Amino acid sequence: MARLHLVRHGETTANVMRRLDTALPGAALTDFGARQGARFGLENRPEREAVLFSSEARRARQTAELIGSVWDVHTEAVDGVHEVQAGELEDRSDREAHHVFHDVMEKWHAGDLDVRIPGGESLAMVYDRYIPTVDDLARSYLTGTEPRDVFLVSHGAAIRLIAARLAGIDSRFAAATHLGNTGSIELEYADGIWVCHRWGAETAPFDRVDEPLVDDPMG
């Protein structure tokens, strides 16, 4: 059965500096981030025919291009799957900005879809732009007589929120389980149902985690 792989981009300077970098086009990969992208390609060669997409963000496109160069697969950027928009917190790395972002993310994971990051997005807004793109990819590639795996290079906070929504993952597990740079979540789609098989290094079934949101909410 064909699967969707949501892949977080490689490391950027903003990641190293803990800077809230969400607006397009965003930061580029560090040298280490580029090596992460190439290593993902080497270690995750698809077992069946696959397609490779990314968000419009520079770091995601670069990561996808590095993976595609290893697989000899064309890459394409798609709309709607960029990172949660930080609004007034954009480009900040101070404790207060991280506290505000962290607080909103905790409320989202607790089920409040309408609370917004100041000047930025609500979770409902993230769902409204991201899920239709995933639905289009599912219809085009994961179903039919010749299904193909889909690899979508995207962003840590958005990936965890979307994967939890699609597959009905416990919100505390999603909030507490980190997804490092080039970490990925693997989902299967059949008969209109999404099933999560792997979340980073964790494999299903996923237990409830009574821990707080990871310190780096972007991951």
Residue numbers in the known binding site for substrate are 8-15, 59
Distance separating alpha carbons of residues 37 and 148, to the nearest angstrom: 21
Where is the binding site, in residues?
8-15, 59
Which run of H or of E encompasses 101?
helix 95-109
Return the closest-CA partner of residue 217 out of 130, 89, 101, 49.
101
Q: From the CB of residue 137, how many other CB atoms can be counted at a distance below 10 Å?
A: 18
Residue bearing tokens 């040298």: 31
User: 63 and 10 in contact (C-beta within 8 Å)?
Assistant: yes
Distance separating alpha carbons of residues 188 and 1, to the nearest angstrom: 7
